[in-house]
Amino acid sequence: GQQVMQIPQYQHVQEGEDFTTYCNSSTTLSNIQWYKQRPGGHPVFLIQLVKSGEVKKQKRLTFQFGEAKKNSSLHITATQTTDVGTYFCAGLAAGGTSYGKLTFGQGTILTVHP
């Protein structure tokens, strides 16, 4: 079955440093989504990428979708303490027809030291 690998599992940064998490799928994806889960909270949708090579920005967050639509990354510039949480990628396999059949990566836990 489809697997989505996400690295690193943990990342500790000083406030102001940059942060990147990477996501790799074993199969070609139709789209990829990113979610953020604050400590003690539930996952919250951040963005969806659909097109090969797509790049989207949300303020200090930059999301990329690989040309082969099998990998993605999330980059945060100049982290702040409010960025703390777990970041999940979630991919929908190309040709998938079942709603909700997102495969989640293992998540990257980000801690930011002030």
- Closest to 37 (Cα-Cα) out of 104, 103, 88, 74: 88
Q: Is the peptide bond before 8 cis (omega within 30 degrees of 0)?
A: yes
CA atoms within 13 A on the CB side of 41: 12
8 Å CB contact between 5 and 105:
yes
Residues of span 33-92 touching other proteins by CB under 8 A? 33, 35, 41-45, 48, 88, 90, 92
Minimum CB separation of residue 43 from other proteins in Å reads 5
Distance CA 92, CA 70 (A): 10
Q: How far is the CB of 4 from other proteins (least distance, A)?
A: 9
Rg (CA), the chain: 14
Using CB under 8 A, count the residues that bind other proteins: 22
| Binding-site member from 39, 59, 99, 114 for other proteins (CB under 8 A) | 99
Binding span for other proteins by CB under 8 A among 15-23, 56-64, 73-81, 105-113: 105-113
Q: Which residues bind other proteins (CB under 8 A)?
A: 1, 31, 33, 35, 41-45, 48, 88, 90, 92, 98-102, 104-107
